[in-house]
Amino acid sequence: MLNKYRQTDIDGFTLLEILVAIFILTVVLTTIFAIFIDTFKNINYTESQGEIYQMAWIALERIQEDLESGFLLKIDGNFQNGEDDIDRSFLGENEMIYDRDADMLSFFSTKQLSRENEDKKSGLSRISFYVKENDENKMFVLYRSDISERDAPSDEKTGGAILCENLDSVNLIYYNSEGDEFENWDSSKEEFNGKLPAMVVIRLKFLIESASENPLIFETGVLLPTAGNYVEWEE
């Protein structure tokens, strides 16, 4: 007697087919993940770049405005310090940290913008720009201080507000009216004839952590309208 029912053959996947499918799935997921990671890296880089552009623009504009209001103060017919021991020179120093430029600039200005006392909108003050190291990532921080003539600090690198961060270097170059280049400038020295530089070039170099091989460099030159002039001041 013949069996009316015959078992249907069921074909399954072979081990080779399963391995091939897993391999293809792995390749697809890896590709998608790589695209996903690159997209977020590009987003983070673009955001970091935008923040740096904004910081650099603000810093360069601030330095430019301060330099344009800078001058030499003449007291009792001299540019030298008086008995009150107040330094009235224009001083630019070429300094290094970790073999990277970390220049300092200090000069006298009529434009006082102290954040600590908003009521003091005018008067004589010492404007200073200086660099300190960020201990966390070894990058530099650029500070700006605005101190009244009479409130001389115990340390020239204190009392400032952060102007910008994540700097790899801060380089300042000075030019006299003949176009000669100097890395330092001290108006109290005979070499500079008691004058301001005719122009100061500011170069800021930033690093983005995710793209340290491609630093961002911002540079501008500032002409000093008061170069060679001074302001009389009565004590």
Q: What is the pLDDT of residues 16-27, one digit of tens each?
A: 878 888 888 888
Question: Mean per-residue pLDDT for 83-94?
Answer: 70
In a domain, 76, yes or no: yes
In a domain, 92, yes or no: yes
pLDDT at 86 over 50: no
Mean pLDDT computed over every residue of the chain: 77
Query: Would you state the pLDDT for residue 32?
Result: 83
Indicate the helix (H) or strand (E) that contains 58: helix 15-68
Q: Which domain holds residue 161?
A: 44-232
Model confidence at 155, in pLDDT bands (50, 70, 90)?
low
CA distance 126 to 91: 11
Dihedral sign, Cα of residue 165, residue 132, residue 68, residue 174: negative
Q: Which residue has the higher pLDDT, 137 or 185?
A: 185
How do 104-109 and 100-101 pair as beta strands?
unpaired
In a domain, 16, yes or no: no
Question: Mean per-residue pLDDT for 92-116?
Answer: 81
Query: Would you state the pLDDT for residue 6?
Result: 53
pLDDT at 156 over 70: no
Question: Mean per-residue pLDDT for 199-216?
Answer: 83
pLDDT at 64 over 90: yes
> How many domains does the chain fold into?
1
pLDDT at 226 over 70: no
Query: Would you state the pLDDT for residue 162?
Result: 92
How do 161-175 and 70-74 pair as beta strands?
unpaired
Lowest-pLDDT choice from 42-56, 63-77, 78-92, 221-235: 78-92
Helix (H, G, I), strand (E, B) or coil at 207: coil
In a domain, 89, yes or no: yes
In a domain, 8, yes or no: no
In a domain, 212, yes or no: yes
**Alpha carbon 157 to its chain's center:** 16
CA distance 229 to 111: 17
Q: Which residue has the higher pLDDT, 148 or 147?
A: 147
Query: Would you state the pLDDT for residue 116?
Result: 46
pTM reported for the whole predicted model = 0.70
In a domain, 194, yes or no: yes
Question: Mean per-residue pLDDT for 155-179?
Answer: 87
In a domain, 37, yes or no: no
| Helix, strand, coil share (%) of the chain residues, nearest 5 | 25, 35, 40
